[in-house]
Amino acid sequence: MELMNLEAYAIKSPARKLNPYIRVFLSVGALFIAVVANSPASSIYVFLFMLILILFFARIPSGVVFKLLVLPMSFVIPASLVIAFLQGEHAIFSLNAGFATIRIYREGVMTSVETLFRSLAGISSLYFLILTTTMSELFSILKSMRFPDFFIEISMMVYRFIFIFLEEMEIMVTATASRLGFSNFRSHLRSFGMLGSMLFIKTLEKGEKIQIAMESRCYDGKIPYLKLQFPPAGQIILLILILLSMTMVSMLYR
């Protein structure tokens, strides 16, 4: 859960000089190119490009970036390994395990390497977005994309509730544990149910209070935002150049 603090990096990051539209289009564009191109070369290019942006432009400490990358990789690496056992004709390795023969195929290894790099490219572009953009900027962008007001409102409430939930949960888990609430499996289950429902109710009450507080301040379902500025021409040209270079790499090295 310590990852919830990622927004703190976004607020401090010098990358906020860049217009929010540019940041969003850059990461989504890079992600799109990596996923559509399906070539390891362009995936590696996108991955390295975004990594360099995160480290030297957004100035995120390398230790943090490493930790952040390891986390999804712990799912992606084993998963792409599974593919190596599934696809292809030419076995490059086989092991007779008595009841079944386990084979690794050459084509499968190719696909798994491809998948691994594609995921890396995708994850690094996603991290660029996460580490440079705050939620309120994203809400403004959603609004300018004509998402309905009540949908954005519900999303913002969910966002606020997540944090209330986590704060309350921490307090209540400590209280339960100090009363031996998690001492064995049965009481663990019982405590979990109690804790969950109390959490639900407490958060609901807090939410209702927020609602009342806002309504007494003339809230009618619309939260006004500062309108985002249109990006300056220089930044648009930069964005187009970066995305073009990524497209070129994916066209040249298939």
Partner 1 sequence: MHIAEGFLPHPWWEIWFVLAIPVLIYGIHRLKILISDRPELKTMIALAGAFIFVLSSLKIPSVTGSCSHPTGTGLAVVLFGPWITSVLSAIVLLYQALLLAHGGLSTFGANVSSMGIIGPFAGWVVYKIMRKFGIGVFKTVFVVSVISDWFTYIVTSFQLGLAFPSTHGGVLASSGVFLSIFAITQIPLAIIEGLAATALFRYLVQLKPDVADLVKSTRSEVTG
* Tokens representing residue 101 in the block: 């023969």
With respect to partner 1, which residue has the nearer C-beta, 202 or 228?
Answer: 202
Considering the complex, what minimum distance in angstroms separates the CB of residue 8 from partner 1? 12
- d(C-alpha 16, C-alpha 11), whole Å: 8
- d(C-alpha 246, C-alpha 43), whole Å: 9
State how far the alpha carbon of 114 is from the alpha carbons of 43, 46, 69, 192, in Å.
8, 13, 17, 42
Considering the complex, what minimum distance in angstroms separates the CB of residue 138 from partner 1? 7
Considering the complex, what minimum distance in angstroms separates the CB of residue 158 from partner 1? 4
Longest dimension (CA), the chain: 74
With respect to partner 1, which residue has the nearer C-beta, 5 or 232?
Answer: 5
Considering the complex, what minimum distance in angstroms separates the CB of residue 26 from partner 1? 13
With respect to partner 1, which residue has the nearer C-beta, 100 or 233?
Answer: 100
Considering the complex, what minimum distance in angstroms separates the CB of residue 234 from partner 1? 27
Crossing angle for the helix pair 106-132 and 62-84, to the nearest 10 degrees = 150
With respect to partner 1, which residue has the nearer C-beta, 57 or 85?
Answer: 85
With respect to partner 1, which residue has the nearer C-beta, 43 or 176?
Answer: 43
* Burial of residue 23, with CB atoms counted within 10 A of its CB: 0-12 exposed, 13-18 middle, 19 or more buried: buried
Q: What angle do CA 136, 123, 112 make, to 5 degrees?
A: 160
